[in-house]
Amino acid sequence: MASLFYEVSTRTSCSFSAAMQRLGGSVISMDSYSSSVQKGESLEDSVTVMANYADVVVLRHKETGAATRAAAVSSRPLINAGDGTGEHPTQALLDVYTIRQEIGTVNGLTIAMVGDLKHGRTVHSLAKLLCFYKNITLHYVSPTPELGMPESVTDYVDKKAGFLQCQSPNLMLVLVVTKLLLQKVFSSLQQGIQNVDVVYMTRIQKERFSSVEEYNKIKGSYTLTAKLLNAAARPKDFGGSVLGPSRNLPIIMHPLPRVDEISTELDHDDRAAYFRQAENGMYVRMAILAMILGKSPLPPSA
């Protein structure tokens, strides 16, 4: 596996490396700080060369759309490990896996996405992936409208979230529009996480701001505490979307790294799933690599 990371990374980089090694493979790594990128080499040239040394390429890049550019010149399968403020598809896969492991289902859930939704590529991919499930409600919670979920994402979800059912009672054709996913916007953390099944926290991304002053105006806008979480929890006798949940709700998720948006007092709370979520990343990426490299049967539609 050729690992090309143009942005700093801990979990994605290390979990991909661990995944490949656990499958019996090896890893060659290139980072932009110690490679010919410093001499002006283009992304396309780097990918073309590195792909010839490997069976699969994993790319993290600071520019949105970089993975598409790289895939066009790569002679080997290429996995998008995050492209700027665009997408992070393998994170979305491990997020859905985590939700299923923690709660038992994805269908019918209410999920609050909290923080810097404009720059957070993880929530972009997760919102899109959730379009494949039924009766989902998404709460978008951000401190300012400018950091809200991008219109390109909400429009995509709107287009994908409804479908037409054909019914023919008494031989008459009837078209029924069924809404699969609802989107709601909040600025209050307390209101946005009320009675949800999942609280998906994200950090305010300092590196995406044009100045430290602008970042400091937003920094620390939200901090999830035990008091807030308990106040937002579903009633014990709720008749909601999950029958017999495996643990108390809501669960807390976070793609990490965390700054100050989740109080450390929650780290040992049974509802705190973010460290289990990080571990799940390795297993999900093992599955992705195994499927791509032919070690596991691909689904018929692949």
Catalytic residue among 61, 76, 85, 88: 88
Catalytic residue among 39, 159, 236, 268: 39
CB atoms within 10 A of CB 151: 8
In 3D space, the residue among 97, 91, 188, 111 whose CA is nearest the CA of residue 143 turns out to be: 188
- Establish whether 76 is a catalytic residue: no
3-state secondary structure (DSSP) of residue 297: coil
In 3D space, the residue among 298, 281, 292, 302 whose CA is nearest the CA of residue 25 turns out to be: 292
Catalytic residue among 10, 22, 48, 60: 60
In sequence order, the 6+-apart residues with CB closer than 8 A to the CB of 245 are 103, 104
Q: Which residues of 28-61 are buried (b: 16+ CB within 10 A; e: fewer)?
A: eebbbeeeebeeeeebeebbeebbeebbbbbbbb
**93 vs 112: CA distance, rounded Å:** 17
Paired sense of beta strands 28-31 and 57-61, if any: unpaired
- Establish whether 88 is a catalytic residue: yes
Write the DSSP string, 160-211.
HSEEEEEE-GGG--EEEEEE-EEEEEES-HHHHTTT-SEEEE----GGGSS-
In 3D space, the residue among 161, 81, 166 whose CA is nearest the CA of residue 121 turns out to be: 81
Catalytic residue among 12, 90, 122, 154: 12
Q: Do residues 269 and 227 lie in contact, with contact meaning Cβ atoms separated by under 8 Å?
A: no
Q: Do residues 182 and 205 lie in contact, with contact meaning Cβ atoms separated by under 8 Å?
A: no
**231 vs 182: CA distance, rounded Å:** 23
- Establish whether 12 is a catalytic residue: yes
Q: State the Cα angle at 28 between 24 and 29, rounded to 5°.
A: 130
In sequence order, the 6+-apart residues with CB closer than 8 A to the CB of 286 are 19, 22, 23
- Establish whether 276 is a catalytic residue: no
Mind telling me the catalytic residues?
11-12, 39, 60, 88
